[in-house]
Amino acid sequence: MMSPTRFPEFNTEQRYDMLIGDSWTQSTTGETFRCFDPYDDVEWGHVPLADIADVTRAVAAARAAFATWSQTPAYERAAILSRWGRAITDNVEALARTQVHENGKTIAEMRGASGALAATAEYFAQLALGPVGHVIEPAFPNHEAWTLRQPIGVVAAITPWNNPLGLLGWKLFPALAAGNTMVIKPSEVTPVSTLLLARLGLEAGLPAGVVNVVTGFGATGQALVDDPGIDKVAFTGSTATGAAIAQRVAPRFLRTTFELGGKGAQIVFADANLDLAVDSLVKGIVAGAGQACNAGSRLLVQAPIYDEVVALLRQRVADIRIGDPLDTASDIGPLASRPQYEKVTHYLDLAKDDGCELLVGGRRGPEIDGVGTGRFVEPTLYATPDSASRIRREEIFGPVGAVIRFEDAEDAVRIANESQYGLVAGLWTNDLSRAHRLSRRLESGVVWINTWRAFSNNVPFGGVKSSGLGREIGPDALLEYTETKSIWLGLH
C-alpha cells in the first residue's frame, strides 16, 4: 500500500467534472470511473463517464464557439495562448505530479514534459501571427490571385496515456492558433491532467466552447469520431486503432492527423563514439519505461564492435534505478496499467519461444528487489536470431529492446527498413558523409544523427508507413489545421 504522504496534493475521493461549453459538468447518466496509481494500484478520483449525449453536447458547443473564435483576430488568439503558456509554467509541478499518479512516469520526465508544453503554447502563439497565405502572379495578364489558409472547423483530439499533455499540446495549440475549436477525449488512464490543463486555459481567458473535454473509454472516443459535427480527427495511439478510425471517417472525407506506432532503429557503426551511443541506446528503451512511440527498441550494432557494445549495455542497464516515480533518484517507474504490464511480460515469454538470447534484465514485478508487487519490468535486452522474432518486429511499448548484429551500411539499411513502422531512426557514426547518405535512405519520418529524442517546437515530427499521417509541431503542424482557399481577381 502507498504511504499516507504519497497523495498530499489529492483528495483521492474527489469528483472531477468534464468541460462542455461554459459548464463543468458530470455525465448525463451520472456514471463515473476511477483512476489507478501505477505504482501501487491505489484507486483515486471519480471521473465522469461520458455517453453519446455528452459528446453531442460538446461538439455542439465547439461548433457554436467556432463561429466567433475563427473570426477572432490572430493577435487576440495568440495573446490567450501566451497567457495559457505562462499559466502552465506556474503550475508545472501540479501538472507533473498529476501525470505521475496517472501513468507512472518519473517526476523528472513529467516535469520536463510539462515545461515543454508551456513552450509549445508560446511557439504556436507566435506562429499564429505569421502569414496566412501567398500572393501569386497568374500565367496570364489582367488577373491577380492569392491564397488564404483558413481553419477547418471542429477538431476531435483523441490523446494517449503515455504523454497525455505533451501529445495533446502538439494538437491543441496549432489547432487553436489557426482558429479551430476542439473536443478532447483523453485516455481513460490519464483524464485528470487534461481536465487540469483545460481549467488553466479558461483562467487564461479562453472563451467558452473553444475547448471541451469529454472523459471515458473507447465508446466515448468512437462516439466523438462518428459525430457529424466533427471536421477533423487528430489521434495519437496504436496503429490498429488509427486504422479503425481511418475506416470510420473515410466515407465523410474528414481531415486526419495520425501519430501511431513505432519500432525505432538505432544504428551504431564501428567508428561511433561508443560512450555517447551506448548512453542513448539505453535511454532509448528506458525513457518512460519504454512506453513511447519514439523508443529506440531495435539496437543495430556493427559486427566488429558487437561484443564490446553488448558488454557496455550490460553495465549501463545494471546501473538503472527502478522505483517510485515520485522519487527523483528513480530512473524508471512502473508500467502505466495492468493491461500494459501483461502485454509487456507476455513479450518476455514470447522471446523465449522465438529462441532469443537474454542479454540483460528480464525480471518482472515481485522478481525485482525493493519494488514490491508493482507493475515493474526491468530494462531487458535480447539478441534476436532473425527478422521473424516478434521482439524484433512488433511494438512492445515497454523497456525491452532487440539487439541485432549487422555487417555494413547496406545490411543496416535493409534491417532498419524491414519494419512496417517508420517513425524514428538513429545513426551513430563519425562519418558524416555516410550519415547524410543513409539518412535519405532510411524509411523514417525523423532521423537523428549522433543524438536521440531531440525535439524542438519548430521542427516537424511524424512518421511514414504504418507510423501515421501528417506532422505535429513545427510550421507544418499549423498547416495541418487549415484548408487552402484560392482567390482570383479579374482586373477589367
> Catalytic pick from 122, 395, 443, 472?
472
- CB-CB contact of 252 with 225 (8 Å): no
> Catalytic pick from 105, 171, 185, 263?
171
> Catalytic pick from 259, 378, 395, 480?
259
Our answer to whether residue 407 is catalytic in this structure is no
Our answer to whether residue 472 is catalytic in this structure is yes
Rounded CA-CA distance 128/149 in Å is 11
> Catalytic pick from 35, 102, 188, 293?
293
Rounded CA-CA distance 48/66 in Å is 25
Query: What is the torsion angle, in degrees rounded to the nearest 10, for the CA atoms of residue 39, residue 45, residue 49 and residue 53?
Result: -140
C-alpha distances in angstroms, 118 versus 84, 98, 170, 270, 382? 8, 16, 11, 40, 38
Collect all residues with Cβ–Cβ distance below 8 Å to 389 and sequence separation of at least 6.
Answer: 351, 354, 355, 356, 382, 402
Q: Which of 361, 413, 407 is nearest to 383 (CA)?
A: 361
Our answer to whether residue 357 is catalytic in this structure is no
DSSP state of 423: S
Q: Which helix (H) or strand (E) holds 302?
A: strand 298-302
Our answer to whether residue 259 is catalytic in this structure is yes
Alpha helices in 146-216, H assignment, sequence order? 164-177, 191-203
Q: In this structure, what C-alpha cell is assigned to residue 479?
A: 498547416
Rounded CA-CA distance 203/198 in Å is 9
Rounded CA-CA distance 3/150 in Å is 52
Q: What residues are paired with 383 via a beta bridge? A: 357, 403
Rounded CA-CA distance 197/371 in Å is 31
Residues annotated as part of the active site: 171, 259, 293, 472
